[in-house]
Amino acid sequence: QQQVKQSPQSLIVQKGGISIINCAYENTAFDYFPWYQQFPGKGPALLIAIRPDVSEKKEGRFTISFNKSAKQFSLHIMDSQPGDSATYFCAASMRWGGSTLGRLYFGRGTQLTVWP
Amino acid sequence: EAQVTQNPRYLITVTGKKLTVTCSQNMNHEYMSWYRQDPGLGLRQIYYSMNVEVTDKGDVPEGYKVSRKEKRNFPLILESPSPNQTSLYFCASSSTLAGGGNEQFFGPGTRLTVL
């Protein structure tokens, strides 16, 4: 059973547009929600992360919106650029997870293409 | 430079020939993990380790073995590889001091083809 569901699987956006990727989870014990960015030929790297005590976190053009009651969170990329073309993974974990401490549960990824 | 290294980066082998993919991190991290990445399936965890001599199965452990004898190393062993293990493999590590919710650092990946 997939712990984190991510959509869409692929996304094509015009340069300057807004890219939106959505994720949903069921386990209410999750309390850390990172997004990872992966360029072709590279390993994923942390992009931005949020804890459930806030509803939004912004870093530059990247914003995470978090809806605790709906158990959903999303990544918004404002003014999308061709250099943002990559695969994006949402994830969730428990900061005090006992035997699963440190374990990240990933969504299946979204391949973003930004056309110039 | 803080990093996770994997070797080899590319490997073509034949069914049944035992192989080991090495993973090493220089950040003194407690937590290490192996993932495989397949198109449309994202990152699936194979095994993870919370510290030396502590390992546990992830979501897709069948056909794989791991060991954690030293804190810095976490090799992935395929005793008898099969074509369905053709995939892109990533090793990752993170600190678990003061709880989880820490950045997980990924290696550059190992592309394995089993003929």
Q: What is the pLDDT of residues A90-116, one digit of tens each?
A: 999 987 767 677 789 999 999 999 998
Q: Measured between CA atoms, how close is A31 to chain B, in angstroms?
A: 8
Q: What is the torsional sign of CA A104, B80, A41, A7? A: negative
The answer to whether A44 contacts chain B (CB < 8 Å) is yes
Is A23 in contact with A108 (CB distance < 8 Å)?
A: no
pLDDT of residue B74: 98
> With the CA atoms of A13, A110, A86 and A41 taken in that order, what torsion angle do they form, in degrees rounded to the nearest 10?
-150
Q: What is the pLDDT of residues A24-47, one digit of tens each?
A: 999 998 989 999 999 999 999 999
Q: Measured between CA atoms, how close is A25 to chain B, in angstroms?
A: 16
For residue A108, give the nearest of B40, B56, B108 by CB distance: B40
B80 - beta bridge partners?
none
Strand locations in A15-71 (E): 19-25, 33-38, 45-50, 56-59, 62-67
Overall size of chain A counted in residues: 116
Nearest to B92 by CA among B41, B47, B44, B32: B32
User: Cα(B1)–Cα(A71) distance, rounded to whole angstroms?
Assistant: 37
DSSP three-state, residue A55: coil
User: One digit per residue, pLDDT tens: chain B, 115 residues?
Assistant: 889 999 999 999 999 999 999 999 999 999 999 999 999 899 999 999 999 999 999 999 999 999 999 999 999 999 999 999 999 999 999 998 776 678 899 999 999 999 9
User: Cα(A6)–Cα(A23) distance, rounded to whole angstroms?
Assistant: 4
